[in-house]
Amino acid sequence: MKTIDLRSDTVSHPTPTMREAMARAEVGDDVYHDDPTVNQLEAEAAAKLGKEAAVFVTSGTQGNLCALLAHCQRGDSVILGDTAHIFRYEQGGMAQLGGIIPHTVPVQADATLRLPDLDGAINPDDEHKPVTRLVALENTHNAAGGLPISAEYTAAVGEFARENGLLLHIDGARIFNAAAALSVDVKDLVADANSVTFCLSKGLCAPVGSVLVGEREFIRRARRARKALGGSLRQAGVLAAAGLIALREMTDRLIEDHENAQLLAEGLSEAPGLRIRSQNTNFIFFSLAPHVNVTLDEFVRVLREEYNIFMSIYGGEKGVIRLRTHYWIDRTAIAKTIAAVSSILS
């Protein structure tokens, strides 16, 4: 039986076209800037996001950390959301490895950070305080349930940052989902950012890799950080070849994943005792009503063992299950999932 893996979009496998391109990829030593496929990916990624330059990194976590290490000095402070992926799920790498101090502000229900909160988080020029260097946004916002944030809001934060002498970084692991959901060019979503990390894996299906984009001089420093983190690869063209397909062919189809998530949420909401908490882009969060006589653990176990359907219990909030649609979740998988869940809960 085919597995239906809804735990995350990170579980998506490379497409047959990607595997073929990987097998044929021209390669060189990327530490010498000699890998033509990596060079091509970096050039196309920078152009697509409207930035000067790019660097291929192994993961979203590494891209965000390289960005913060390249923008900040030890002892600097970064303002970010209290549920930001960088703050919650990247092991505090900025503090652990970079001596950078996170200053969190509350993430609002619409996934934004309030400008007055950002303002209040800027340290005065006072020798007791760390120097505030940067604001980080996340789009789409993982903990806020995959909500996209608009180009207008991002521009307002960009203007605020410039007025206050701060830099703006976007954790855009799923920035192409945001662009698809808002029907805007991704360039407009990141125009005001000094740097953006986006993932080629996740919804875009490449097996490995993310890209960090920004100004040329910033990318030079980020490459140095990547080396120190052990992330400089040699014949990385085999990975970049899949990344090129992700960038060229997989961004425009993300809207299908969003439509499938909506269909799945609609179908699941009919199951007795199942409550959809939110559905945005390719994310669904749901919980089970207290009267349902199956525990969350049991529900997930039965789906896995009896139906080969994988779901994960969300760590960020008690009693919540998180689903993500992606390329390998088609309409048949959606119908099978709805049928399995209704039969367990009926």
Contacting positions for ligand TLP (CB under 6 A): 8, 10, 59-61, 85, 89, 138, 142, 171, 173, 199, 210
Tell me the CA distances in angstroms from 63 to 68, 128, 166, 227, one per residue in order. 9, 30, 19, 12
211's CB contacts (< 8 A; 6+ apart) are: 41, 42, 45, 54, 55, 56, 57, 63, 197, 198, 200, 243
3-state secondary structure of 173: coil
Q: Which residue is nearest to ligand TLP (CB)?
A: 60
d(CA 206, CA 135): 29
Tell me the CA distances in angstroms from 225 to 62, 153, 195, 217, 232, one per residue in order. 9, 30, 15, 13, 9
State the minimum distance, in angstroms, from the CB of residue 152 to ligand TLP.
21
**Which residue number, 3 or 343, has a Cβ lying nearer to ligand TLP?**
3
State the minimum distance, in angstroms, from the CB of residue 94 to ligand TLP.
13
**Which residue number, 122 or 232, has a Cβ lying nearer to ligand TLP?**
232
Residue type, 161: A
State the minimum distance, in angstroms, from the CB of residue 138 to ligand TLP.
5
**Which residue number, 130 or 231, has a Cβ lying nearer to ligand TLP?**
231
d(CA 49, CA 227): 24
State the minimum distance, in angstroms, from the CB of residue 345 to ligand TLP.
25
State the minimum distance, in angstroms, from the CB of residue 141 to ligand TLP.
7
d(CA 222, CA 214): 10
**Which residue number, 199 or 274, has a Cβ lying nearer to ligand TLP?**
199
**Which residue number, 35 or 171, has a Cβ lying nearer to ligand TLP?**
171
